[in-house]
Chains A and B, each alone.
Chain A
Amino acid sequence: MKAIASRTVMWLFLLITALLTLFPLLMTLSGSLKTGAEMMTGGSLLPARAQFANYAEAWKQANFARYTWNSAFVSIMVTAGTLLVAAMAAYVVDRRQFLGKSLYVTTQASMMFISVGAIVLRPQFDLMVVLNLNTTLWGVILILISAHSSTFFMLIGFFKAIPRELDEAAMVDGSGFVRTFFRIILPLLTPGLGVAGLFAFRHAWNEYILPLVFTMTNPKLQTLAVGLANLRYGSSAAMQIHLMMAGACLSIVPMLLVYIAANKTFIQMTAGSIKG
């Protein structure tokens, strides 16, 4: 009897927690299918009739097509750039000795821990103005790639698992350093690149403050998170809650699909980060 009671309590707790976790997401979905008037008056959890037209309206009139493209562009470029920059550095650091190696590794490690908040955005922005990149998304992309220290450390772990004899054998066969890296080692690193890429993609897709600051005077470059947040501040915000919800769905769904496809990887890597 006691065992049954405690199992019931446990399942009740687990299910209520799951429901609370899903609640905001379900409400986003439900809100995205309501009419603007329904959202304004409130009181209901589900739409009276599903308004799929909201999505078309958000996509065209509320500019979400552009935001989605910008988000995709930034995320893909950042993922590719971060992987390339971090993999090349991690390869040399793992395979070779050189002057200043420990200084380099210490700097990368401290980059993960020092946090001075938004103040760094100003010198970063000034630099981009000098380079003439402040009117494109490349400024945002370069800054996001520059924060590659966690990817660097993640990839070092994967490089360690690839035997050094392989590099040596390739060199003996006359393959140069650069060629060995790109033709032999990098393909073997694919699983590691996939995992690290997932994290880099998630970070770039969800980033808000950086693109916000960079696109304040340039609405054409705004990403999904920025465009959506601006709707919340807009003068007609109250009239557009249903579009806000549709936009939120448009931003959440791609990430959710990636998550469902690569659920195991996310979970193993997050768990793995603590085992070292």
Chain B
Amino acid sequence: MRLRWKRLGENTLFLSPSIVLTAALGVYPLIWMLRYMFYDYAGYGSPLFVGLDNFRRLLRDTLFWESVGNTFIYAGGKLLLTLPLSLLLAVLLNGKLRGGNLLRGIYFMPTIISTAVISVVFYTIFNSYNGMVNAALMKLHLVSQPIDWLGPKHAMLTVVLVAVWGAVGNYMLLFLAGLQSIPNDLYESAAIDGANAGRRFWNITLPMLAPVAQLVVMLAIIASLKGYESIMLITEGGPIGKTEVMYLYLYKLLFPVSTGSPVEQQLGYGSAVGFATAVIVGTITGLYFLLSRRMNKLD
């Protein structure tokens, strides 16, 4: 009996810091959100219970739905560029190149650098008038006129490129780990049977990589839907809302931003938007999960 109390005391001592912190700063904020999404609450004064009004407003909120659309464009663009590029780099680096370790170290480098800091840098170097990107492109005679990288036409492309820059190294490394777990004798016997590099890639590499690739794609989907820090610092969602993504829109409902944003601060409505964005991200992740499981069964 005494031993049991002693063990309980030790468990409590060791677990309570984690439990207290998680409960107070992880779980409580979620409950707070689940409560205030039914309230009209600007952040001061007394909150007013309004039932489902915030969700009715959400359905009609064109700014929000535009931001959802932009999120899909942003995430889709990022995935379409990042995944093939990182897979290609991984396949090339897997072939025991001279200097491969150095290249790997360089490609991975962006993932250790602060997104916020490098976004400030990108904001500067993508400047159309005195930015270094245009300076380099003109020096190489690739363009004759400066490109308006942060203008309405190209802003989305620019923030996607920045996101790709930051992400390729990470997924390259994950793919590389998957590739290195494919046994070598598979390739050797295929080579003896006369299969060329292309066939070996399609018939051995891709199917053997599938389980790892499925996980990598899932991580990539979640990360690309969640990202808004770099957009906040490069375009602030502008110009004219062209790069407004849902988590950035949510941020603007809660905290002030530098440019006079048309979005009014509203914690109650913000809670509803936060809940909706989490549901959207959760649904997409869940759908992808089901789809990839079904594909596994078909094989």
> What chain A residues lie within 8 Å of B105 (beta carbons)?
263, 267
Q: Which of A10-18, A51-59, A158-166, A189-197 contacts B (4 or more CB under 8 A)?
A: A10-18
Interface residue tally on B, bucketed by range: 35 or more
CB distance from B197 to the nearest CB of A (A): 9
Among B109, B251, B256, the one with the most A-chain Cβ atoms within 10 Å of its Cβ is B109
Which of B15, B25, B271 has a CB less than 8 Å from the CB of A124?
Answer: B25
Stretch in contact with the other chain, from B58-66, B125-133, B290-298: B125-133
Which residues of A have CB within 8 Å of B112? Answer: 202, 255-256, 258-259, 266
Given contacts A40-B130, A116-B275, A117-B247, contact A208 B177 (CB under 8 A): no
How far apart sit A270 and B127, CA to CA, in the bound complex (Å)?
A: 34
Query: Is B205 in contact with chain A by the CB < 8 A criterion?
Result: no
Contact with A along B21-52 (1 / 0, CB 8 A): 11011111110110000000001000000000
Q: Across the interface, which residues of A come within 8 angstroms of B238, CB to CB?
A: none
* Assembly CA distance A17 to B102 (angstroms): 13
Known: A146-B24, A229-B233. A41 touches B130 (CB 8 A): yes
- Main SS of chain A's interface residues? helix
Q: Kindly provide the distance from the CB of A260 to the nearest chain B CB, expressed in whole angstroms.
A: 8
Evaluate whether A45 and B132 lie within 8 angstroms (CB atoms) in the complex, with A25-B109, A248-B121 already known: yes
Chain A residues whose C-beta falls within 8 Å of the C-beta of B24 in the assembled complex: 127, 146
CB distance from B22 to the nearest CB of A (A): 6
A27-B251 in contact (CB<8A)? no
- Among A17, A241, A244, A259, which residue has the most Cβ atoms of chain B within 10 A? A17
Structural contact, A118 and B251, CB atoms closer than 8 A: yes
B176 lies within 8 A of A271 (CB): yes
A154 within 8 A of B: no
* CB-CB under 8 A for A89 and B120, given A41-B130, A111-B22: no
Q: Nearest chain-A residue to B17 (Cβ)?
A: A85
- Nearest CB in chain A to that of B258: its residue: A233
B135 A91 Cβ-Cβ under 8 A = no
Inter-chain contact A270/B174, CB cutoff 8 Å: yes
Residue in A88, A206, A251 whose CB lies within 8 Å of B18:
A88
Answer yes or no: B136 CB below 8 A from chain A CBs. yes
B191 at the interface (CB under 8 A from A): no
How many residue pairs link A and B with beta carbons under 8 A? The number is 260
Could you say which of A86, A122, A213 contacts B43, with CB atoms under 8 Å apart? A122
Question: With A and B bound together, what is the CA distance between A251 and B127 in angstroms?
Answer: 22
Contact with B along A198-241 (1 / 0, CB 8 A): 00001001101100010010000000111011011100000001
Q: Which residues of A contact B274 (CB under 8 A)?
A: 116-119
The distance in angstroms between the C-alpha atoms of A26 and B2, with both chains bound, is: 65
Verify if B169 is at the interface (C-beta below 8 Å from A). Answer: yes
Say whether A119 contacts B281, CB under 8 Å.
no
A174 at the interface (CB under 8 A from B): no
Residues of chain B from 243 to 261 with CB closer than 8 A to chain A in the complex? 246-247, 250-251, 254-256, 258
Report A-chain residues with C-beta under 8 Å of the C-beta of B176: 271
Residue B1 is within 8 A (CB to CB) of chain A in the complex: no
Contact residues in A for B22 (Cβ distance below 8 Å): 107-108, 111, 146, 148-149
B120 touches A244 (CB 8 A): yes
Least Cβ–Cβ distance between A154 and chain B, in angstroms: 14
Counting chain B CB atoms within 10 Å of each CB, the highest count among A30, A108, A117 belongs to: A117
When the two chains form their complex, are residues A178 and B13 in contact, meaning their CB atoms are under 8 A apart?
yes
Contact A21 B124 (CB under 8 A): no
Knowing that A23-B136, A89-B14 are A-B contacts, what are 17 other residue pairs whose CB atoms are under 8 Å apart, sorted by A's residue number? A17-B85, A21-B169, A27-B132, A31-B125, A42-B129, A45-B132, A88-B14, A88-B17, A114-B278, A115-B278, A122-B267, A148-B18, A208-B229, A209-B229, A233-B258, A252-B117, A266-B108
Residues of A within 8 A of B (CB): 10, 13-14, 17-18, 20-25, 27-28, 30-31, 39-45, 84-86, 88-89, 91-93, 96, 98, 104, 107-108, 111, 113-124, 127, 142-143, 145-149, 152, 177-178, 181, 202, 205-206, 208-209, 213, 216, 224-226, 228-229, 231-233, 241, 244-245, 248, 251-252, 255-256, 258-259, 263, 266-267, 270-275
In the assembled complex, 21 residue pairs joining A and B whose CB atoms fall closer than 8 Å, in A order, are A18-B106, A27-B125, A42-B130, A42-B135, A85-B21, A89-B17, A104-B19, A107-B22, A115-B281, A118-B250, A119-B250, A127-B28, A147-B25, A178-B13, A206-B117, A209-B229, A245-B124, A248-B121, A270-B177, A274-B174, A275-B181
